Amino acid sequence: MALVGCGGEDGTGTGSGTEGSTGTPATTTETPATTSGASTSGGVEPTTSAAESSTGESGGSSTSGADESSTGGGSDAGPFEACYEGVFVNGFPGVNYDGLDMPIGEHCLGTNIQDILEVDRVVFLGDSVTVGTPPTGTGDYYRNILADALADRFALSFGSNKLLWQSANVFDGTAGVMESGDFASCAEWGARTDDLIAGNQIEDCYPENTRDLETLTIITMGGNDLSRIAQDTGGGAKPGAAWDLAESAVDHMRESTEWLKDEANFPNGHHVVFANVYEFTDGTGLVESCAAAGLAGFEPLDSLGDALLVIGWMEDQYARIAQDTGADFIFMFEEFMGRGFRNADPTAPGYRGPGGQNWFDLTCIHPTPTGHGAIADMFLATVAE
């Protein structure tokens, strides 16, 4: 389904807690403040007008955000709206972040809240998107592409374990080794937001003797939370349970980001950049579009219920976490929209026009090498601006 069939493996266990500064999610069909509701075609109602025609597909990884011809935007468009105006044939199928009044990068790939000028240590947290998974080869994992670029940018060293650190241990779903020189990774296959501060990722990756280093942390997290919502609540057929799980996931993400950005924990500075959460059906809800959807834990859905609103609310909350904590986030949801398994469907909310690509691999939920390259581009552009 469109709004909860997103990138990650299923897992067990739940988090707990209540939302602090942003309030609890609606438990009815009310929409997030910055969206205009659930579309009858399975996505969030467009927030911009539909384009007369598509801008097409470039055929490679994204290096300039939304199509360059549309970044100028209309005279009344905010910076985020301007980035995606005219990109989607059927109107923009997501949340318009302009209502939050936060800076958007000129590259249109993420926000521009932090000035990241110096870095002594880089840490990767999150799920299998960050660890990397077959059939994509090690050299194409976004984590490794980005780490090489960051090593050059900030004069960092990998030490003697670079190749092992860049590999993925298929037995436990983690990097081959946790640390190599100035780099660390505590990401794990199947991880959810409660594996950050409530689990062991943050505890393992920030020992006391490293916290005086100016640190950059990169995170992809939340896809497995959305997968669990889809699978444990019948795709939202149990709306109360769906909202409870969504709220818990956001609570854990907020608590973790607040800890990472707390100057008391990192007196010399900590830069945090995380991804929002993508989905593979281009807003249609047709999980069966991916042949392996059943193996990935997704079945055709008979009832969507409030789940159509869950991803819109979570994207909105992720943006608020960045705004409130002074972190940045990349537009992974927006950039992968229209590059899923319904990219050729002209009725899909995320349709970009003819000649589209699929950035999801045969597992349904992980990026192709092109998708990994695009994620690396998004993170690097957001760090660099």
Q: What is the pLDDT of residue 42?
A: 30
With cut-offs at 50, 70 and 90, classify the pLDDT of residue 229: confident
pLDDT tens-digit map of 95-149? 999 999 999 999 999 999 999 999 999 999 999 999 999 999 999 999 999 999 9
> Domains in the chain, please, with CATH?
118-280+291-342+356-384 (3.40.50.1110)
Over 50: is that where the pLDDT of 18 sits? no
Q: How far apart are CA 356 and CA 171, in angstroms?
A: 35
Taking only the tens place, the pLDDT of each residue in 238-247 is 778 888 899 9
Model confidence over 41-78: pLDDT tens digits? 233 332 322 222 333 333 334 444 554 333 344 458 89
Model pLDDT, residue 236: 58
138-153 b/e (C-beta count within 10 Å ≥ 16 → b): eebbbbbbbbbbbbee
pLDDT more than 90, % of the chain: 66
| The pTM of the whole model exceeds 0.85 | no
Quick one: average pLDDT of 228-232? 79
Of 336 and 31, the structure prediction assigns the larger pLDDT to 336
How far CA 241 is from CA of 123, 170, 194, 231, 286, in Å, comes to 33, 32, 17, 11, 22
94 φ, ψ (degrees, to nearest 5): -160, -160
Q: Report the pLDDT value the prediction gives residue 296, as an integer from 0 to 100.
A: 75
Query: What is the pLDDT, as a whole number, of residue 51?
Result: 26
Q: What is the Cα–Cα distance from 251 to 196, expressed in whole angstroms?
A: 11
DSSP state of 30: P
pLDDT tens digits along 153-177? 999 999 999 999 999 999 999 999 9
In this prediction, residue 157 carries a pLDDT of 98
